[in-house]
Structure 1
Amino acid sequence: MRELLEAVADGSLSPAQAEAELRGYVTGEAGRFDAARDQRRGIPEAIFAAGKSAEQVVALAETALETTDRALLTRVSESQFDALETHLGERAPDATIDRRGTSVRVTTPHHEPPSLDATVGIVTGGTVDEPVADEAAVVCLDAGATVDRVDDIGVAALSRTLDQLDRLREADVLIVAAGREGALPTVVAGLVDTPVIGVPVSSGYGHGGDGEAALDGMLQSCTVLSVVNIDAGFVAGGQATLIARAIDAARD
């Protein structure tokens, strides 16, 4: 405790960093940021940008960078990203921004990226599934896993799936995102011996086209797979990260 107080007093530690050390979270005007989640859970807190103002997103990202040297953001709109980019240009011009669709990862030069000896295959049925897959990829890359993207291999033309079978079998864990009837994760899970995480995507026509048909289909899969909620790329990425970390530990 005394060391923390002395560090705050001499300016080598900010109040937010000290609060993160003591409580595990930091409280600001935009809400609380769980700075200790990565150590406690193995997956960092992500800033869910949807429904927040640009100012709130920027404030939470700044808190994340100050306390953990990185920030993960999901469902970021164009206006929110513009505000974030402007703020970082003024306050943290040496920060690195990795934007993938509506997901953003920001790191400072002080961040020490981890490395996992594990590969996560991230598969999409079609182009419309890619933003959800991007969200999963950001989480896995942040954890240090190798990500192998295999896009646009939906079962409407089964040959597209079978053409990539050897590649799919090389992954340690697979995330498979698909909309419409959601058949792709079931097909893939029946052809590989690695864990498969199905992600239903809210794409399609009319009844069930909001992802419910895909979700129901995956839940009723006769081949073994895990299923997350509709469009829940972050959750799938987090689950794959935990599996990849266990594989890395076993290989060590």
Structure 2
Amino acid sequence: MRKLLEAVADGSLSPAEAEAELTGYVTGEAGRFDAAREHRRGIPEAILAEGKAPEQVTALAETALETTDRALLTRLSDRQLAVLESALADSFPDVTLEHRGDALLVETADRERPSVDATVGIVTAGTVDQTVADEAEIVCLDAGVAIDRVDDIGVAALDRTLDQVDRFRRADVLIVAAGREGALPTVIAGLVDTPVIGVPVSSGYGHGGDGEAALSGMLQSCTVMSVVNVDAGFVAGGQATLIARTIDSARTDPD
């Protein structure tokens, strides 16, 4: 405790960093940021921008950068992104930004991104599924996992799926995003011995639209795979990252 107080007093530690050390989270006007989540769970807290004011998104991102040297944001609007970039230019001018669709990873120069000896394959059935896959990808990118991305290979033209089977088999874990009837994850899971995480996407229309048919189809799959909620790209990316880290540990220390 005394060392923390002395560090705050001499300016080498900010009050937010000290609060994160003491409680695991930082409380601000935009809410509480869970700075200890990565150490506790293995996956950092992401800032869900959807439903938040641009100023709230910016405040949470700055807290994340101050306490963990990076901010992981999902479902950013153009307006939120513009306000965030303008604020960061003043408060954190040395950061780097990596975009994946409407997801964003911001890192300070002090952060050394980890490296994981495992590959996550990310697959989409169609163009409409790519935004959800982008969210999964940004989580894997943050974790330092190798990513092999394959887009637009839905089962309406099965040849384009079968053409990629050898590539799927080389991955250590697969995330497969599909809307409409959600058949692609089931098909792929029946062709590989790789763990498959199915992500139903809220595309389609009429009966079973908005991801309902895709979710039901994946849950009823007769091939072995796991399924996350509709549009839950972040969750899929987090699950794949945890699996990839376990594989990395086994390769690094096989005994």
Q: When the two structures are superposed, what TM-score results if normalisation uses the length of structure 2?
A: 0.98
Q: Distance in 2 between matches of 1:157 and 1:142?
A: 33
Q: Per-residue displacement from partner, 1:130-185 (whole Å, max 9, x unpaired)?
A: 00000000001111100100111100000000001110100000000000000000
Cα offset, 1:31, TM superposition: 0.3
Is 1:142 equivalent to 2:175 in the alignment? no
SS at match of 1:52: coil
SS at match of 2:44: coil
Look up the match of 1:19. Answer: 19
Q: Which amino acid aligns with 1:161?
A: T
Look up the match of 2:55. Answer: 55
Q: Distance in 2 between matches of 1:141 and 1:97?
A: 12
Look up the match of 1:198. Answer: 198
SS at match of 1:32: strand
Cα offset, 1:84, TM superposition: 0.6
SS at match of 2:131: helix
Alignment of 1:149-168 (within 5 A): 149-168=149-168
Q: Distance in 2 between matches of 1:82 and 1:248?
A: 37
SS at match of 1:117: strand
Look up the match of 1:211. Answer: 211
Cα offset, 1:92, TM superposition: 1.2
Runs (4 or more) in structure 1 with deviation over 2 Å come to none
Look up the match of 2:170. Answer: 170
Look up the match of 1:10. Answer: 10
Look up the match of 2:29. Answer: 29
Look up the match of 1:82. Answer: 82
* Higher deviation after alignment, 170-179 or 86-95: 86-95
Percent of paired sites with the same residue = 78
Q: Distance in 1 between matches of 2:139 and 2:108?
A: 17
Cα offset, 1:126, TM superposition: 0.5
Q: Which amino acid aligns with 1:69?
A: D
SS at match of 1:203: coil
Look up the match of 1:69. Answer: 69
Alignment of 1:88-103 (within 5 A): 88-103=88-103
Cα offset, 1:91, TM superposition: 1.4
Q: Per-residue displacement from partner, 1:33-70 (whole Å, max 9, x unpaired)?
A: 00000011000000011110000000000000000000
SS at match of 1:118: strand
Q: Distance in 1 between matches of 2:93 and 2:167?
A: 39
Q: Which amino acid aligns with 1:68?
A: T
Cα offset, 1:99, TM superposition: 1.2
> How many residue pairs were aligned?
252
Q: Which amino acid aligns with 2:199?
A: V
Q: Distance in 1 between matches of 2:180 and 2:210?
A: 8
Q: Which amino acid aligns with 1:167?
A: R
Cα offset, 1:112, TM superposition: 1.2
Look up the match of 2:123. Answer: 123
Q: Which amino acid aligns with 1:186?
A: T
Q: Distance in 2 between matches of 1:12 and 1:111?
A: 17
Look up the match of 1:132. Answer: 132
Q: Distance in 2 between matches of 1:62 and 1:54?
A: 12
SS at match of 2:116: coil
SS at match of 1:120: strand
Q: Distance in 2 between matches of 1:18 and 1:90?
A: 23
Cα offset, 1:208, TM superposition: 1.3
Cα offset, 1:206, TM superposition: 1.3
Q: Distance in 2 between matches of 1:92 and 1:45?
A: 20
Look up the match of 1:45. Answer: 45
Q: Which amino acid aligns with 1:36?
A: A
Q: Distance in 2 between matches of 1:91 and 1:14?
A: 14
Alpha-carbon RMSD across the aligned residues, in angstroms, is 0.5
Q: Per-residue displacement from partner, 1:189-234 (whole Å, max 9, x unpaired)?
A: 0000010000000001212120000000000000000000000000
